[in-house]
Structure 1
């Protein structure tokens, strides 16, 4: 009576072996697991590394918001952007030029200018996608400081190393020919020492998009103020743009209706100029299309306010636009022209 049981067990065993030995091509597609190589290829396809900067800076927020909007799971237009935390604006450009896996970066225009002496062909290796936002120069001083010249030899804080202020601030002061005693401590510490008159700090320098929370929320005695900067002084026109700090920006520090002239550092989204027939170039071209097609989404509540002023057509002096970005703009212009009736007045 045990023979049927043994026969049944043998049948089950042989059936199982038959399934194992059946060629993969003969198995149903849904049951066939992906190989390790296929899994790796699928996960890495259509990925873009974007160097963003320090965690506390505005550029990494822009990088994260770009990833939030342009990421796409649909296989026909799949894309996945990885924002990368770095040590700051100079490191972003260095990463774009030399670090594996980085295809795009958010940089300051003056960092690009500094690299021109180190990388003579940088214009051929980097192209800009968007002129993102201006980072305004804020020179905030104690009451006894009245003019920029009064800062000569005095302690001026430029925030911690790696920040935009720590990089661009000394460059700007060098072009202003202002020789100061530079310090690089966290701005909250420096502001508190300056407010109390401790540590000999005469000024703090911010280079960031306005308004700055520290000046909106802080309580300052009469006489604390922002110093104006004349863009016609020093070597500025090739690197910076004119800007103003207004009473609307800082109602506690600037009297109503008054402005403080300053300069701004353009902040750019740039791409590495991969060969046009390469896989990396195709990924960046898709990034441009997703980003430009969805730019209106960045103007919704919850995104950085500076997105509202981003203009796709805005140009960057001294740098060529990344080819897929220029092609997208050209396509849009051609579409608009096709919609204009023949003989209609051109605006």
Structure 2
């Protein structure tokens, strides 16, 4: 079944439409209250001497699950590698603090040392569709879809529903973050007008305790370690976000927060309805001749090969939602990831079988011709993954 899944994923994909680091100043598109505007296509910094052994991994804030996922990868991949004469390893992963939103994408598009990023799919789709950073269709690819990121809306005791937030001060997160962009979108769709604040997670939780805020939103994969340390004694609770099929179905998913996720906030046998968005691991689509391409190829091969290690209890439970062979409609998979999936046991055999059915309608001469045609076919498919 696994073999069939890998082969089907590769074949199906071909028909798809195809801490801390210094950053440049925020672009105008990241203004929390301004409508997205088109910018010139950003250029990747290539003049800087990026570490040839280090993959820069842009994540969310250190309080978020996405940062923890990057740390999981960095720590796991660091083990089991042979070192050079000076202790150097062939592959390092460096988590880079981002905001989980547009800054993650912009960093990958521009910074020489930023190679991959976790970002909500709906947010990256919008950046491409609106041309916020120009045409990014060929600049970004995906390595694999990841997991869903839940909306965590914490509120003070006197706030019982979304309608109670009307006119109240609500924190959606730092400008350009997933919470700021998607939270504003959801509240607007549901007709809830708020007074918006733009604080980081720690400051927002403190403001909630003191009564400076009525609610605060964090978009991140559950359970968020930072929130597991909060409790009802702080005078806060999770506020339900009702899922509206009519208003939210195109971009959002229904989800649930349970006692098992946050035992200090949610009572036993209780649950809180919320919404979520899909996330994915995006990568800068370096040309094959670039040395960064080779580094990222090693990163993909190592990550995929050692993926079962992430499914143990020692790692975040969100890893168990990840299906490496899943597709991301509308995006091209990074070529090394695509090849790795194909090369798994039975993958190429399945492709050859499908190719044979194709040739039945268009017979060729003899076996040598057929073999050469198959190799040409593979090269053509790699150059034209959307065909």
How far apart are the structure 2 equivalents of 1:132 and 1:108?
10
Whether the 8 Å contact between 1:195 and 1:220 is mirrored in structure 2 is no
How far apart are the structure 2 equivalents of 1:316 and 1:128?
8
The alignment partner of 1:111 has SS state of helix
Q: 1:334 aligns with which of 346, 358, 370?
A: 346
Name the residue aligned to 1:172: 186
How far apart are the structure 2 equivalents of 1:276 and 1:135?
32
Pairs within 5 Å for 1:1-347: 44-71=51-78, 72-73=81-82, 78-116=90-128, 117=130, 118-161=132-175, 164-191=178-205, 193-195=207-209, 198-199=211-212, 201-212=213-224, 213-214=226-227, 217-220=230-233, 224-234=237-247, 236-251=248-263, 253-254=265-266, 256-332=268-344, 334=346
How far apart are the structure 2 equivalents of 1:147 and 1:291?
42
The alignment partner of 2:300 has SS state of helix
TM-score by length of 1: 0.71
The alignment partner of 2:137 has SS state of helix
State the Cα RMSD in Å.
Answer: 3.2
Greater relative contact order (Cα < 8 A, sep 6+): 2
| Divergent runs of 4+, >6 A | none
> Cα gap change, 1:73/1:167 in structure 2, threshold over 3 Å: closer, same or farther?
farther
TM-score by length of 2: 0.65
How far apart are the structure 2 equivalents of 1:187 and 1:87?
11
How far apart are the structure 2 equivalents of 1:167 and 1:249?
25
Whether the 8 Å contact between 2:152 and 2:238 is mirrored in structure 1 is no
Unaligned runs of 5+ residues in structure 1 are: 1-40, 339-347
How far apart are the structure 1 equivalents of 2:58 and 2:204?
28
Unaligned runs of 5+ residues in structure 2 are: 1-48, 351-387
- State which drifts further: 277-286 or 210-219: 210-219
